[in-house]
Amino acid sequence: MDAVNELFNDLKSPDPAIRFSVLSRIEDMSWTDEHREAFREIFAGEKDPGIRFHMQKVLARLDRGDKNRGSLEAIEEQLKNPQRDEISLALMLESVKRNEAAAVAESLRRAEWPKFSQQLLPSVLKFLKKHGSAEDTAAIEKLCRHSDPRVLSAAIEALEKHNPDRLKDLIVPLLINGNFGIRSRAVRLLHRWDPSEALRHFESMLFSNLETEKHAALYQAFFFPFKQIETLMLRYISVESDPEMIKKAGLIFMTNPERHMPARLLEVRQACVGIKQRLVDVILKGVLQSLYQAKIVNAAPEQMLQVLEAHFKEKRIRLFIEHHSSALKSPEANVRLQSALKLSDLARRGMDEARQVVEAYLPRERDLNNVRKIRLFIETGQLEVHKASEPEKPTQPAKPEKPRVAVKTEPAAEAPAKPTAVQADKPTEKPAAKAEEKRPLQEYTARERQSFIAA
């Protein structure tokens, strides 16, 4: 993640106070040609007159270099001119020589600087923050109620430097200011007198449903002691779904590297999926790189990550064993069985600690069915014995049945039976002649007797 580009993203914030605060941070950074071009594109799209003025001042400094070195004579000439070039005057105030600073401050007081335009006032307040004195406090305090968020923000910074106790009376109106950037700034100021209350306000903004409040909270997070907001930030990246917000939060972790932080980020990463897991992985590797560059650790980031992942895996297994070891004391037999089986599965994979837990548990198990299943599972990896099935005999295709002949009421001649295999070898015998029936003469009719006699 490029910190400069992340600041440029803040310049697209809908909150003008945040955009103005970002401008004050990027003035002293190292600029590349790509950064200048990107900044010009943002400047072209800026609509707020005050922000445009400040961005134009930044561009003018980049283009002019040291040509606008502020001298007392040149500044007084600009102050006396009603049609003064405010961009040039603002640049001069940023480069005043230390031995002339007090005289320039006096010239500003004579010129009644609080009456300057709201575009120029932030530059004057920035100068007075550095080179002003107690006699400027009253005028600065009045500007802490200014309607323009840029002037208000610059006045708060100047008053915080010269008389921070005067801000106590302003905290309440600042905390309820309609501008999110001003509210977040007030939360940071509140931390000076009431850290716990400030953190409650910060948490409320960080987990707000409004994106502008979350942007403001993340911006001010850079100024809080990181150890005090570390837990909140970890919880934030765990629940946040917006990739851009996660990236912004990641910069806070990278700029505050701590030895214990990679392990906690690894836990968050393992609980995430998809693109969010990849984003947290980038944050984790960025923190490891920061630790290495700051010489807090001697191991290279890749080596550190391998060690962390190995320790994390061991920790997860240890917690797994502890959880299911406790479940072995359950009064429910099925709960004990399921936990014992899970531990037995680890034991089968070579985990000696899990095997020892199961072996110590089995003699105490009252349910013999559980004992039988667990021992069987350890030995075979199965819960039940499966008997070997006997090979089936080959089945012969069934002979087709002969079609049945419907039974008739009239008597029918029986079909001759088919010869068997033995009968087929014997010569075919002719059927015996049917014996002729003999009838007594008296049973014949008269015609039959006459025919018989005639024959």
pLDDT value at position 232?
96
What's residue 68's pLDDT? Answer: 55
Q: Is the pLDDT of residue 26 over 60?
A: yes
Report pLDDT digits (tens) over 272-296: 999 999 999 999 999 999 999 988 8
Of 259, 305, 298, the C-alpha closest to 282 is 305
Burial of 381 (0-12, 13-18, 19+ CB in 10 A): exposed
For the segment 129-139, what is each residue's pLDDT rounded down to a tens digit? 999 998 999 99
Contact 104, 72 (CB under 8 A): yes
Average pLDDT over residues 427-453: 57
What is the model's pLDDT at position 2? Answer: 60
Total residues found in the chain within this entry = 455
Residue 426 has pLDDT above 50, yes or no: no
Number of H helices, E strands in the chain: 24, 0
Contact status, residue 154 vs residue 125, Cβ threshold 8 Å: yes
**pLDDT reported for residue 262:** 93
Share of residues in the chain with pLDDT > 70 (%): 81
Q: What is the pLDDT of residues 223-237, one digit of tens each?
A: 889 999 999 999 999
Q: For residues 180 and 212, give the distance between their C-alpha atoms in angstroms, rounded to a whole number.
A: 7
Whether the CB-CB separation of 361 and 328 falls below 8 Å is answered with yes
Joined together, the tokens standing for residue 316 give 């997860």
pLDDT band for 427, please (50, 70, 90 cuts): very low
- Comparing 10 with 453, the larger pLDDT belongs to 10
Asked if 7 and 22 count as a contact pair (C-beta separation under 8 A), the reply is yes
Q: What is the pLDDT of residue 352?
A: 86
**Of 109-118, 190-199, 375-384, which gets the smallest average pLDDT?**
375-384
Burial 141-168 (b: 16+ CB within 10 A, else e): bebbebebbbbbbbbbbbbbebeeeebe
Tens-digit pLDDT profile for residues 347-396: 888 888 888 899 898 998 888 888 898 888 888 888 776 555 555 555 55
92 contacts 68 by C-beta, under 8 angstroms: yes
Where exactly are the structural domains of the chain?
225-298, 322-380
- Alpha carbon 399 to chain centroid distance? 71
- Range 306-313 average pLDDT: 88
Does residue 407 have a pLDDT over 90? no
Arithmetic mean of pLDDT, 137-164: 89
Mean pLDDT for the stretch of residues 169-179: 83
Q: Is the whole-model pTM more than 0.75?
A: no
More confident residue, 137 or 149: 137
Q: Is the pLDDT of residue 142 over 90?
A: yes
* Averaged pLDDT for residues 68-97: 86
The pLDDT score that the predictor gives to residue 94 is 85
Q: For the chain, how far is it from start to end, CA to CA, in angstroms?
A: 139
Q: How many CA atoms lie within 13 A of 56 on its CB side?
A: 18
pLDDT of residue 297: 87
Q: How confident is the model at residue 409 (pLDDT cuts 50, 70, 90)?
A: very low
